[in-house]
Amino acid sequence: MTRHLGSLEKLIGHTFKNIGLLERAVTHRSWAYESLMGSSEEEIRLAENESLEFVGYSVLGLVVAEQLFLRNPTVSEGDLTLMKHHLVSGSSLAALSEKLGLGEYIRLGGSEVKGGRAKRSLLTNTFEAIIGAVFVDGGYVVARSVIIRHMEEQLQNVKPETSVDFKSSLQAQLQAQRQRTASYDLIKTDGPPHARKFSVEVAWEGGRAHGEGNSIKAAEMQAAERALEMLNPENKKPSKRAKKN
């Protein structure tokens, strides 16, 4: 595992003082549960990457916000927000993780091994956990450097008009129609602790829509997208799923 982590350090561009942080960053909860069977919940949490993912997501958001502000001094707050949401979205981070080949470094348990290394949600979570590990190990300046190095192309090319935030779009449309703000409710949570699936309902005057995702945020975004499709049926485009069916 140490040699494996050495190649990952080179890929990331940071040599860890505490290599255990990087090992934890690539350890999925399924691996920790199976490998530490019989251990306490506290011991399992200390081995898997969810807490580092939490830290990494926050650091990533701060660095991206800082860079967008510095690089786009005349862009409005609303457009900066759209651009930030786009850059830190699951789809954008998953694409970056795929490009880096992070999938081959993730430690997965038997329940996730089949297809898990290509699962976009796991790739996104691992990237965020790695950023969290870099921050804890080296501090903000080091983490900032790593993020900019790997996201430079995205930071240069992102534009407000190509950064869609379905929740904000839905809110803007409802406001334009003098309707109250939509409300989001978590209606169901399924799956084991390491593979949660969330179901969310969005409600507005005259309608409801449902969304699902591996996080509440992702489920809310899908629900908002479906709400917009219901409100604007003339603009609805066939989804990839529909084309396949």
> Which token pair is 43?
């011991």
CATH of the domain at 17: 1.10.1520.10
Are 126 and 180 within one domain? no
pTM of the model: 0.69
The enclosing domain of 192 has a CATH number of: 3.30.160.20
Single residue among 158, 188, 211 that ends a domain in this structure: 158
Write out the DSSP string of 200-240. Answer: EEEEETTEEEEEEESSHHHHHHHHHHHHHHHH-GGG----H
Domain C-terminal end among 123, 158, 193: 158
Question: Looking at the structure, do residues 29 and 148 belong to the same domain, yes or no?
Answer: yes
* Total domains present in the chain: 2
Indicate whether 90 and 6 sit together in one domain. Answer: yes
In a shared domain, residues 22 and 109: yes
Q: What's at 26, amino acid-wise?
A: V
Examine residue 244 and state whether it is found in any structural domain, yes or no. no
In a domain, 241, yes or no: no
Picking from 99, 125, 158, the residue at the C-terminal end of a domain is 158
Residue position matching structure tokens 């800082």:
66
Q: Where do the H-state alpha helices sit in 101-139?
A: 110-116, 120-138
Query: What is the pLDDT confidence band of residue 9, given thresholds at 50, 70 and 90?
Result: very high
Which is higher by pLDDT, 81 or 49?
Answer: 49
pLDDT digits (tens, 9 = 90+) for 194-243: 777 889 999 999 899 999 887 787 788 889 988 988 988 755 543 333 33
Calculate the average pLDDT of the chain. Answer: 86
Owning domain of residue 96:
2-158
Shared domain for 113 and 62, answered yes or no, is yes
Q: Which residue has the higher pLDDT, 149 or 45?
A: 149
C-alpha 45/C-alpha 49 separation (Å) is 8
Q: What is the pLDDT of residue 188?
A: 92
Does 102 lie in the same domain as 23?
yes
Distances (CA, A) of 195 to 72, 135, 214, 215: 38, 25, 7, 10
Judgement on whether residues 117 and 176 belong to the same structural domain of the protein: no
How remote is the C-alpha of 70 from its chain's centroid? Answer: 23
What is the signed CA dihedral for 229, 191, 51, 122, rounded to 10 degrees?
A: -60
- Most confident by average pLDDT, 84-93, 120-129, 139-148, 210-219: 139-148
**Residue 245 placed within a domain:** no
- Residue 213's pLDDT is 80
Residue 96 lies in a domain: yes
pLDDT tens for 45-80 read: 888 999 999 999 999 999 999 999 999 999 888 788
**pLDDT (0 to 100) of residue 78:** 74
Residue 242 lies in a domain: no
